[in-house]
């Protein structure tokens, strides 16, 4: 076994369920013994690693889990968890106006990343998501995105340099690192490029019912959303509910919008590009960039330090599916693309959803009651719904967003030949693997 480098294996969840163990070791105890023998700091091993027999195992696992389905007795559990606090490192910003770089380890959370940037600057950001407890390693490797998707692209589009492989050796981004970084085959130690953000941003959320012409508005949004200015991100959330005691159901559409600028500029855009939505000044709220981070994470009015909380404040049972669309359809949560996303080649990273994509669709069902019968009902429903959507979405092949996919989707195949070459060169021992990962080249 190669020498174990602690610096590159901190604070990540190792999903070593039995069929996927990357070592010729039959038990977690044997694995721990192996690590101790090959580590310069054997004491740190016992502090950082948890097995099911450890008294803290359950509490540490609970911190990492947001979907309660993975805490049910029948769900496979990790044989090992590594857990340690890591901090993104941000050099002091230059007195000039260009953005600095930042080093981030995979165990840092999105909230910690936002917080450390905010410590140094109120006008710099990074295009990651809004869920503050998500770990950066998984977010990046799944091609994570956020509200600045149309302005700056994916998080991975703004990664500058190095990664670490299974031996802890740093890899240059070019030619291998850039491709490999987007495919979950390496442990990430990344240098990222921070981006400028305005001192004032604007948000609004408008609810429209069927009686308020929600159907017409959603139809229009499908064909203008990807053409709006890059500073504007407007997603649509659709849901149905019982509108009467006799079980009659209806639908509502929520237009959830963030604009990188002030309210006057936003109103000018909506009045010229989407006047039918009838956005007014009273609908809009201006805030600072830091206030927006807290607002989107569900922490409005709370101190910035709340972003350092690593335990999710919203745990549910849920199942997601996703699709992409280039013609137009009508269901669930839609995030429009266009802007910077259309300017980056689909071969730049293993992410093919670039030019020509109107929006991404997220299908979601969630519930609060446990039990196999309840879970089966919801999972069966969303699988049925997903099948129903076949005629209305991109297909041959049908597409899915990386971080939403599960084994219902099948295997990844975009940029496949290149990824097989990268995988073989960087991880020839197939250390980083799961049921949908890229295989090694067969000679």
What domains sit in the chain, N to C, each tagged with a CATH number? 6-82 (no CATH), 85-199+288-313 (3.30.465.10), 201-287 (3.40.462.20), 317-404 (3.40.462.20)
Tokens for 110, please give them: 């999105």
| pLDDT averaged over 10-residue windows placed end to end, the chain, 443 residues | 30 29 49 72 72 84 82 83 60 49 83 90 90 84 86 87 61 47 49 91 94 91 89 89 74 92 96 95 95 89 89 75 59 77 80 81 80 83 85 78 69 64 78 74 69
* Cα dihedral 346/352/358/360 (nearest 10): -140
Tell me what pLDDT residue 95 has.
42
Q: State if pTM tops 0.75.
A: no
Tell me what pLDDT residue 84 has.
57
Task: Give strand ranges (E) for 184-243.
Answer: 189-193, 195-196, 201-209, 232-242
Inter-residue contact 113 to 141 (CB < 8 Å)? no
From residue 370, give the alpha-carbon distance in Å to each of 4, 49, 68, 375, 382. 40, 29, 8, 7, 17
As a whole number of angstroms, the distance between CA 353 and CA 376 comes to: 31
Inter-residue contact 277 to 207 (CB < 8 Å)? no
Tokens for 126, please give them: 């990074």
As a whole number of angstroms, the distance between CA 21 and CA 104 comes to: 26
Tell me what pLDDT residue 188 has.
52
As a whole number of angstroms, the distance between CA 208 and CA 407 comes to: 35
Tell me what pLDDT residue 330 has.
41
Tokens for 196, please give them: 């400028």
Sequence-distant (6+) residues with CB within 8 A of 51 are: 28, 29, 32, 57, 79, 80
Tell me what pLDDT residue 42 has.
67
Sequence-distant (6+) residues with CB within 8 A of 292 are: 201, 203, 258
DSSP 132-171: TTSBHHHHHHTT---TTHHHH--SGGGB-S-EE-TTS-EE
Phi and psi at 93, nearest 5°, equal -60, 145
As a whole number of angstroms, the distance between CA 211 and CA 213 comes to: 5
Burial of 244 (0-12, 13-18, 19+ CB in 10 A): exposed
3-state secondary structure of 366: strand
Q: What is the CA radius of gyration of the chain?
A: 22
Just list the catalytic residues: 404
Inter-residue contact 195 to 93 (CB < 8 Å)? no
Tell me what pLDDT residue 231 has.
96
Element (H, E) at 372: helix 372-388
């Amino acid at each position: 076994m190669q020498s174990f480098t602690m610096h590159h294996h901190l604070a990540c969840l190792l999903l070593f369920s039995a069929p996927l163990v990357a070592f010729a070791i039959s038990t977690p105890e044997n694995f721990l013994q192996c690590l101790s023998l090959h580590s310069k700091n054997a004491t740190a091993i016992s502090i950082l690693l948890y097995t099911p027999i450890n008294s803290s195992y359950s509490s540490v696992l609970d911190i990492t889990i947001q979907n309660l389905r993975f805490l049910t007795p029948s769900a496979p559990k990790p044989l090992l968890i590594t857990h340690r606090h890591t901090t993104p490192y941000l050099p002091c910003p230059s007195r000039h106006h260009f953005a600095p770089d930042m080093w981030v380890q995979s165990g840092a959370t999105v909230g910690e990343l936002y917080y450390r940037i905010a410590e140094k600057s109120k006008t710099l950001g990074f295009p990651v998501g809004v869920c503050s407890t998500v770990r950066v390693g998984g977010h990046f490797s799944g091609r994570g995105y956020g509200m600045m998707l149309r302005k700056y692209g994916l998080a991975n589009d703004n990664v500058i340099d190095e990664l670490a492989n299974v031996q802890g050796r740093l890899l240059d981004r070019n030619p291998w690192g850039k491709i490999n970084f987007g495919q979950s085959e390496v442990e990430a130690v990344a240098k990222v490029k921070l981006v400028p953000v305005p001192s004032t941003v604007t948000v609004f959320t408008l609810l429209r019912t069927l009686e308020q012409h929600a159907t017409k508005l959603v139809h229009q949004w499908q064909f203008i959303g990807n053409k709006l200015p890059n500073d504007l991100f407007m997603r649509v959330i659709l849901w149905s509910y019982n509108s009467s005691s006799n079980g009659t159901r209806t639908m509502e559409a929520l237009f959830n919008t963030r604009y990188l600028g002030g309210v006057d500029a936003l109103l000018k855009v909506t009045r010229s590009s989407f006047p039918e939505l009838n956005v007014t000044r009273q609908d809009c709220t201006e805030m600072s960039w830091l206030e927006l981070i807290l607002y989107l994470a569900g922490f409005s009015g709370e101190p910035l330090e709340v972003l350092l909380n690593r335990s999710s404040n919203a745990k549910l049972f849920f199942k997601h599916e996703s699709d992409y669309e280039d013609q137009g359809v009508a269901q669930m949560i839609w995030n429009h693309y266009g802007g910077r996303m259309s300017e980056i080649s689909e071969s730049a990273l293993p992410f093919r959803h670039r030019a020509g994509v109107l929006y991404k669709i997220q299908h979601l069902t969630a519930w609060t009651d446990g039990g196999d019968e309840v879970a089966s009902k919801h999972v069966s429903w969303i699988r049925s719904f997903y099948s129903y959507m076949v005629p209305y979405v991109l297909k041959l092949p049908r597409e899915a967003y990386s971080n939403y996919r599960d084994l219902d989707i099948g295997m990844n195949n975009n940029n496949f030949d290149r990824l097989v070459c990268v995988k073989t060169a960087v991880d020839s021992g197939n250390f980083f693997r799961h049921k949908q990962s890229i295989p090694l080249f067969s000679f």
